């Protein structure tokens, strides 16, 4: 009787651990005319957001430097966001830049706005459309690897790979 009781208690606990949806391959990095473009595949017509942030071991661990945008997405579409740009899709806007101390932010880190992408610095790119995207780590040096028809996508922890834009859309759509 004891063994049966233990099994019954473990099954519900394991079920609770799987409540949060896993991050999905719904974000990519493209380059058009030499400028970086973030791509977010919108699975649903909901409020969405997209951000780029410094992601380097050389960062001050007490500072988070990022740039983000948000807006309403149309279901089954790719939202294209020029990184650090002002020419945003209709209904999208740059999240108010903040320069806050940790105390003002109520966090353990200071928040500073990202204003430009620097050679040699590693960045992270991610988005959310009711489900989080897998993070894409990149540097400015990755831009020449990308043609008009290819994008940089997540390929495992701290790794990326290039795929065709069509393949990115196909994979993203399949996860929805």
Listed by start position, the domains of the chain span 2-175
What are the pLDDT digits (tens) for 48-83? 999 999 987 655 667 788 999 999 999 999 999 999
Residue 84's pLDDT band, with cuts at 50, 70 and 90, is very high
Q: Is the pTM of this model over 0.95?
A: no
pLDDT in tens, 111-165: 789 999 999 999 999 999 888 899 999 999 999 999 999 999 999 888 999 999 9
Written as six digits, the tokens of 49 are: 């957001």
Q: Return the closest-CA partner of residue 113 out of 64, 154, 78, 149.
A: 64
Asked if residues 160 and 142 have their Cβ atoms less than 8 Å apart, the reply is: yes
């Amino acid at each position: 009787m004891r063994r049966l009781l233990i099994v019954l208690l473990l099954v519900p606990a394991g079920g609770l651990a799987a409540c949060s949806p896993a991050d999905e391959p719904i974000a990519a990095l493209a380059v058009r005319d030499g400028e970086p473009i973030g791509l977010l595949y919108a699975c649903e017509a909901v409020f969405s957001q997209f951000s780029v942030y410094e992601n380097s071991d050389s960062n001050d661990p007490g500072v988070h430097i990022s740039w983000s945008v948000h807006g309403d997405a149309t279901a089954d579409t790719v939202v294209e966001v020029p990184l650090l740009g002002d020419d945003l899709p209709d209904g999208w806007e740059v999240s108010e830049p903040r320069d806050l101390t940790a105390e003002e932010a109520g966090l353990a880190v200071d928040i500073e706005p990202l204003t430009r992408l620097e050679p040699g610095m590693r960045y992270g790119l991610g988005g959310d459309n009711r489900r989080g995207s897998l993070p894409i780590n990149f540097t400015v040096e990755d831009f020449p690897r990308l043609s008009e028809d290819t994008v940089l996508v997540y390929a495992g922890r701290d790794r990326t790979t290039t795929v065709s834009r069509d393949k990115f859309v196909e994979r993203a759509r399949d996860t929805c």
